[in-house]
Amino acid sequence: MAPSAQCLLTMTYNPQDHYFKLAKKEGFVARSAYKLDEIQKRWHLIRRGAKVLDLGCAPGSWSQVVLKILGAGGFLRGIDLKPVDGILQKLRAQNAEFMVGDIFAVPIEQYTEAPYDVILSDMAPNTTGIAVTDQTRSEELCMRVVELSDKVLGQSGHLVMKLFMGGGAKNVEIAVKNRFKSHHLFRPKGVRKESSEIYVVGIGKK
């Protein structure tokens, strides 16, 4: 008998894969760290001393990657519906500030370090398992990030954001294309095979 779709998914989905083990070994609070690491190795968007906004930052592995690059200078603001991991809470006193909030509700005045040099968004909606619903919510998050980039990203700044590929993905891509000198759709190696996620990278805000 042929295996069911659910069975196939179980066979391919390994929560403790190579990147999970590597993250544990290297002290990252999530395996997502390696997605940003790959994007950074390719485009070098985050520079030492930069001001970075990390949207959907919890539990905090992207923030860990960013803080290693920034060194003692620069500034990182993280925002998420949930608090970041305790390891990152300790960094509050340094050049990082984490805020619990919904990006649709946080007033612009609270982005106090704007203009930022880089906006990162690894935000994902709470998934329902219904692809079209999840993709639509992901697109809405991306369009909000684009709107924020109009307001708080500095000229020539860069944008990296996660998108679940679906029917409205083209609209997100066009919104980025219109605002940045160049753009790319990129799928890092760390993205799980069964996931529809890609990263939209906008380089050099016009």
Ligand X SMILES: C[S@@+](CC[C@H](N)C(=O)[O-])C[C@H]1O[C@@H](n2cnc3c(N)ncnc32)[C@H](O)[C@@H]1O
- Residue ranges in 166-195 that form contacts with ligand X under rule CB under 6 A: none
Q: Distance (Å, rounded) from C-alpha 79 to C-alpha 103?
A: 7
| Interaction mask 141-160, ligand X, x per CB under 6 A | x-------------------
Task: By CB under 6 A, name the one of 99, 124, 185, 203 that touches ligand X.
Answer: 124
Q: Which of 142, 153, 75 is nearest to 118 (CA)?
A: 153
| Interaction mask 98-117, ligand X, x per CB under 6 A | ----xxx-------------
Active-site residue identified among 162, 177, 189, 205: 162
Least distance in angstroms from the C-beta of 30 to ligand X: 4
- Has 68 been annotated as catalytic? no
C-alpha distances (whole Å) from 8 to each of 17, 88, 180, 191, 194 are 16, 37, 40, 18, 10
Least distance in angstroms from the C-beta of 20 to ligand X: 13
Identify residue 134 by its one-letter amino acid code: D
Phi-psi group of 205: left, alpha or beta (phi > 0 → left; psi -120 to 50 → alpha; rest → beta):
beta
Q: Distance (Å, rounded) from C-alpha 11 to C-alpha 32?
A: 21
| Interaction mask 11-50, ligand X, x per CB under 6 A | ------------------xx-xx-----------------
Task: By CB under 6 A, name the one of 18, 24, 82, 151 that touches ligand X.
Answer: 82
CB closer to ligand X, 58 vs 159: 58
| Site size for ligand X (CB under 6 A) | 23
Ramachandran angles phi, psi of 13, nearest 5°:
-85, 115
Q: Which of 75, 68, 42 is nearest to 154 (CA)?
A: 75
Task: By CB under 6 A, name the one of 37, 117, 122, 139 that touches ligand X.
Answer: 122
CB closer to ligand X, 21 vs 181: 21
Q: Distance (Å, rounded) from C-alpha 201 to C-alpha 162?
A: 9
Using alpha carbons only, give the angle 17, 19, 23 rounded to the nearest 5 degrees: 120
CB closer to ligand X, 56 vs 166: 56
Q: Which residues are catalytic?
A: 162
Residues in touch with ligand X (CB under 6 A): 29-30, 32-33, 56-62, 79-82, 102-104, 122-125, 141
